[in-house]
Amino acid sequence: MRKLALGFIGLVLLVSVPTLSGREPKKDDRLHDLMQRKLASSQKVLEGLALNDFGKISKQADELIEISKQAEWRVLKTPQYELHSNDFRRIAENLGKSARDKNIDGCALNYVEMTLTCVKCHKYVRETRMTSFDDIRP
């Protein structure tokens, strides 16, 4: 039991060291946290759709819009990435409007469209990063 307690304390200290040292989280850490928030909000939208909970859908649509305005959101500075980001924000706004109008079909359609936009953007970012990596190889 004592070993377990010491192991737990060691783990807590190990996880806390970057925070205790005053180290700022790296941009990759902040981006990861932002994407996790986006995923959680998207899942709550789906829950709201399943439960016909327009308040939940509207609240999460607003959260997704706020997330998309964060500086860490800007992964690439390209016109195509801007297009994906703008599409995501527009669709999230439409999702919120459909929720306020209590239009479940509109909410469902916007949710699907938003999800497709996420998939297209993540695919674009992966391909762009791989291309950039290929360009620096000897």
pLDDT bucket at 15, cuts 50 / 70 / 90: very low
Cα–Cα distance, 82 to 87 (Å, whole number): 8
Cα–Cα distance, 31 to 64 (Å, whole number): 14
pLDDT bucket at 27, cuts 50 / 70 / 90: low
What is this structure's pTM? 0.73
57-85: pLDDT as tens digits: 999 999 999 999 987 788 899 999 999 99
pLDDT of the residue at 71 = 77
pLDDT of the residue at 21 = 46
Token pair 């500075």 is found at 77
Our CA angle for 97, 98, 102, nearest 5°, is 115
Cα–Cα distance, 112 to 107 (Å, whole number): 9
Domains of the chain (ranges; CATH) run 24-136 (1.20.120.10)
pLDDT bucket at 9, cuts 50 / 70 / 90: very low
